[in-house]
Amino acid sequence: MSLTGKEIEIKNHFNRIAEQYDYWKKKNSYYYSLLKNFYKKNIPVGSAVVEFGCATADILSACRPSKGLGIDISEKLITLAKHKHPEYEFKILDAQNFSCPEKFDYCIMSDLIDHLWNIPQAIESSRGVLNNEGRLIITSINPLWNPVLGLAERLKLKMPEGPHCFLPNSFIEFFCQAKGFRIISKGALIFIPIKIPFLSFLLNSLIPSVPILNRFCLVQTLIAEKIEPPRKDFSYSILIPAYNEEENIEECVRRIPKLSRDYEILVIDDGSIDSTPRILERLKGEIKNLRTVRLAKNSGKARAIEEGIKNSLKDVIIILDADMSVAPEDINLFIEPIELGLAEFINGTRLIYNMEKDAMEQIKRIANFLLAALLSLVLKSRITDTLCGTKAFFKRDFEGIRISGERWGDLVLLANAKIKKLRIAEVPVRYYARRAGHSKMRFLSDGLKFVFYTLITAFKPPASK
């Protein structure tokens, strides 16, 4: 599979710094020695080990495997790894699309997650090369350290990071569970990444075990075991509310992945006055599982969602915005957690990954953050993005609920999920600039309404019809 533009950018970055790679590791040798010790402690000598994103393979070698394989996207780093550790096998491959007939006891991902474009896909790849009950061991950077590491990089105290996004361990844990892993342990490592005699040893030995304080450690750790979790089959309605989306609707519908499940594509045309209705009529003749409902007049997205729930013929509803600011292909991220029983209501969150340029203005991002904090306080449940349109839930839980009391429907859906005591989970999604047309949201007036409805929710739950 060919690399995306962002993956090529990552590959080029590591090719550029390959010659200085060992220099930077030597400069920060204390940090890397602690990482190696963590992996040596958790991987028995003589195991079969594969390392995704192996770079120069010093961690792989430190584990002393009987069979070792390292893969990396950078051909220059692989050349260095072959020279340093000729006893092991190395391949220039992308961890996100890797498969091989050999099976391993352990898979290492050290400082890799932060540079992956498609984390769930890489975790799925690791599952494919592990033995039954094989273990995936991940170390990643705590996002709280991002400003500190950015400053250290500018001062040339650490290796240039390149394109990256530090992800909270809770999301990595959720991705692992959704791909069929059981979490064995999760924790923290390294409070002080530089060697200060006595002090570093003392604090790095104690702080990772102290609740609350360990949240400030540099490294997040996760050990997960491959299992065969029970899975339930459900049918799905991909619900697309659309108003004047003539430039987007055809591409959006065609990009929805073909699911190996019973599903329908249900477009609710919210009284469009452009050519959206004609495009949908034509598509219905080409796509057999496409259904449409046309509203007589434009009544807002919440009303369209309400009609979608009423007209859905399937078990689970996945809402997808027609503007493709969240990729249609990402609906797969919402299906596996539902089928594995990890959640009954899944909320997409756009505020975890780095965004595409121009996807969201900075003031809107700040407003989203503040509104999410307010709603989290009201619902007593952590929500990082209240206004992401992509959500998944069971139809049975929202039949008869009046959603259109709030123009967009997001707050009502979240509030009802909490009131019904549904298991709520968030899934990070990539957020892109709208492909064509313009947003229907009015920043100031809609923003004030969101705050109003959030405060109302604190005292009065949304009413049923």
Statement: residue 279 has pLDDT above 80: yes
3-state secondary structure the chain: CCCCHHHHHHHHHHHHHHHHHHHHHHHCHHHHHHHHHHHHHHCCCCCEEEEECCCCCHHHHHCCCCEEEEEECCHHHHHHHHHHCCCCEEEECCHHHCCCCCCEEEEEEECCHHHCCCHHHHHHHHHHHEEEEEEEEEEEECHHHHHHHHHHHHCCCCCCCCCCCCCCHHHHHHHHHHCCEEEEEEEEECCCCCCCCCHHHHHHHHHHHCCCHHHHCCEEEEEEEECCCCCCCCCEEEEEEECCCCCCHHHHHHHCCCCCCCEEEEEEECCCCCCHHHHHHHHHCCCCCEEEEECCCCCCHHHHHHHHHHHCCCCEEEECCCCCCCCHHHHHHHHHHHHCCCCCEEEEECCCCCCCCCCCCHHHHHHHHHHHHHHHHHHCCCCCCCCCCCEEEEHHHCCCECCCCCCCCHHHHHHHHHHCCCCEEEEECCCCCCCCCCCCCCHHHHHHHHHHHHHHHHHCCCCEC
Mean pLDDT of 150-163: 96
Statement: residue 96 has pLDDT above 70: yes
Give the total residue count for the chain: 465
Statement: residue 453 has pLDDT above 70: no
Percent with pLDDT over 90 in the chain = 78
Token pair of 77 as six digits: 């780093």
Least confident among 18-22, 58-62, 211-215, 377-381: 377-381
Statement: residue 444 has pLDDT above 60: no
3.40.50.720, 3.50.50.60, 3.40.50.150, 3.40.50.300: CATH of 5-226: 3.40.50.150
Dihedral sign of CA atoms 354, 358, 363, 364 in order = negative
Percent with pLDDT over 70 in the chain = 91
Mean pLDDT of 188-193: 98
354/214: higher pLDDT:
214
- Which pLDDT score is estimated for 463? 47
390/437: higher pLDDT:
390
Statement: residue 461 has pLDDT above 70: no
Token pair of 74 as six digits: 């950078």
- Which pLDDT score is estimated for 92? 97
Measured between alpha carbons, how far is 456 from 406 in angstroms, rounded to an integer?
A: 11
- Which pLDDT score is estimated for 409? 80
CB 235 within 8 A of CB 312: no
388/105: higher pLDDT:
105
Statement: residue 4 has pLDDT above 80: no
Statement: residue 160 has pLDDT above 70: yes
Statement: residue 120 has pLDDT above 80: yes
CB 81 within 8 A of CB 58: no
Least confident among 331-340, 378-387, 432-441: 432-441
Least confident among 305-309, 320-324, 374-378: 374-378
pLDDT band at residue 411, thresholds of 50, 70 and 90? Answer: confident
Measured between alpha carbons, how far is 408 from 301 in angstroms, rounded to an integer?
A: 5
- Which pLDDT score is estimated for 448? 61
Average pLDDT, the chain: 91
| pTM recorded for the entire structure | 0.89
- Per domain, the residue ranges of the chain are 5-226, 236-459
Mean pLDDT of 331-347: 97
- Which pLDDT score is estimated for 447? 58
Exposed/middle/buried for residue 118 (C-beta within 10 Å: 0-12, 13-18, 19+): buried
Mean pLDDT of 42-54: 98
Measured between alpha carbons, how far is 137 from 193 in angstroms, rounded to an integer?
A: 20
In one letter, which amino acid is 356?
E
Classify domain 236-459 at the CATH superfamily level: Spore Coat Polysaccharide Biosynthesis Protein SpsA; Chain A (3.90.550.10)
Mean pLDDT of 208-236: 97
Tokens 């007209």, residue located: 311
